[in-house]
Structure 1
Amino acid sequence: MRWWRTARTLYSLWSYAWSGVTWRDKWLVFLLVGLISMGEHRVRARSWFFNRINACAREGQVHLRLRIGRRICTVAMRQDNREDFIVGGEIIKGADAPPPFTPRQIVDGGANIGLFAIYASALFPEAKLVCYEPDEKNLAQLRYNLTINDIAAEVQPVGLWSRETTLYYHPVVSCGGYIDETPPGIPIPCVVPQIGPDCWLKLDIESSEYEVLPRLLADGAYPRWISMELHAFAQRGQELLRLLEAHGYRVRGDVSPELWLTTIEAWREPSDGP
């Protein structure tokens, strides 16, 4: 029955393709979703998808036209950049569920190259969009993506933390390194995000969420809807969930205590109290 499992997988991948505008876009959607659907052990399969995505590049960019809500948007990913392709596949699969209300503000913490910003802005074009991204190379691609989609956004070239400070990224430890306030390292200026009424806050900030959220809640700055990738969840996640619940938030997502990485949504009605 292996052929049946393969056929079912291909059908599932192709079901996402209809968000693409042209047949080339549909093919590219199929490839991006296929890349993130293959487990890390599927080395040859992942390589096959990656190489064919790269073959769609022109002048260093892989452009994809997508239907998001009622809009047609253009997503630009850098050639040979696996992380860009993975983020693209996650956006297509709907990694971040939108809120059931119309936000007045969207705060994109860890905006990367702007794919979430494109997605959120397409759904809620009237919301004020603020993007925080400290990496210079990502910033250039972020601004390019905003420009080609005619999205007006406030771009802050900083990271997020519990106070205004300078952090240091240490890439020599593990595959991704770590961040703290001890030099030497790559300096990253950081601020506390400004949260307005009816805010949709998205956080993908490499464990800095454990600094940012407690500070916001302590200040009474309550995002109405939070989409968040939680790192080191097995070590620190349960405490953060208890803090959210103590401040009136409801939580949805896989919160199994043994997980190292998970994605959750948390929401709070404006009248809810801690």
Structure 2
Amino acid sequence: MTANPTVEPIPHPATAEAGPERGPRRRATPLTLRSVAYSVLLTGLCLLILVPFVWMISSSLKHDNQVFTVPTQWIPREFVWSNYADIWTQIPMLAYLHNSAFLAVVISFLQVITGSFAAYGFAKLRFPGRDWLFLAYLATIAVPWQAYMIPQYLIMEQLGLVDTHLSIILLQAFGAFGVFLMRQYYQSIPDELIEAARIDGLSEYRIWWRIMLPLSRPAIASLGLLTFVSTWNDYMGPFIYFTSNELWTVQLGLRSFVGQYDAAYAMIMTGSVISVLPVVLVFLLGQRQFIQGIATSGLKG
């Protein structure tokens, strides 16, 4: 008697192709017409935003009489690389960069400290009128700076702080936007963590310093970057309070190329390119924390 041979089942073609060690295949996302249109639209908007920067860089490598030619010459006929060497001798550019960096770093540090500390009180402490006080403080963002510009100047003049860096530092060391940003992030931190720290005997100051600040690095990076860029690009504040040339920032220093009847436009563009580089560098170094802090502060709270 002959034994019946064992008949093995024939595998499905898809299973045989995948192999025993491979898992189920992921379905590829279909490339729809809408997604293609969105990609093309976003690419076009990005290129449109970059047009002024490309024109600025191109103009910085031209002569003054070639900057506003019609039609616009995107590629200079002659690259004037000497502009980037001459600007350091025509104006004290290094001193202007130092003043801008000093103010931007100091004011950013103070806004992070004061904003995070005030935000901790509004987010994690309970006291009568807390929410109303926060709304009143937040409402100051809607008040235009021109409304209290003159009273601020009179106060600084009576204190003898006009034509000093301290005047700008004191006026910009506090900001309602920083308090709002940090408070939104603090609200995403569980209250149970704060209560546990209080049970362990930590004071409110130590809780803020040892727990809240380390956990809020993305929000700190966002606030610091926004404050740095705002202070670096500020023109009206230094223009009002600084009269001595040795205190000028980059934005005021570029005004040196504007005369009564003419202006050195190529040098202005060269200085603008140099002044943009620190901001771009700071953003590239902190972009990940910046995006995370903005997203978290906006979605939680």
Rg comparison, structure with higher value? 2
Structure with greater proportional helix content: 2
Q: Which of structures 1 and 2 has the larger relative contact order (alpha carbons within 8 angstroms, sep 6+)?
A: 2
Q: Same fold (TM over 0.5)?
A: no
TM-score (normalizing by structure 2): 0.21
Structure with greater proportional strand content: 1
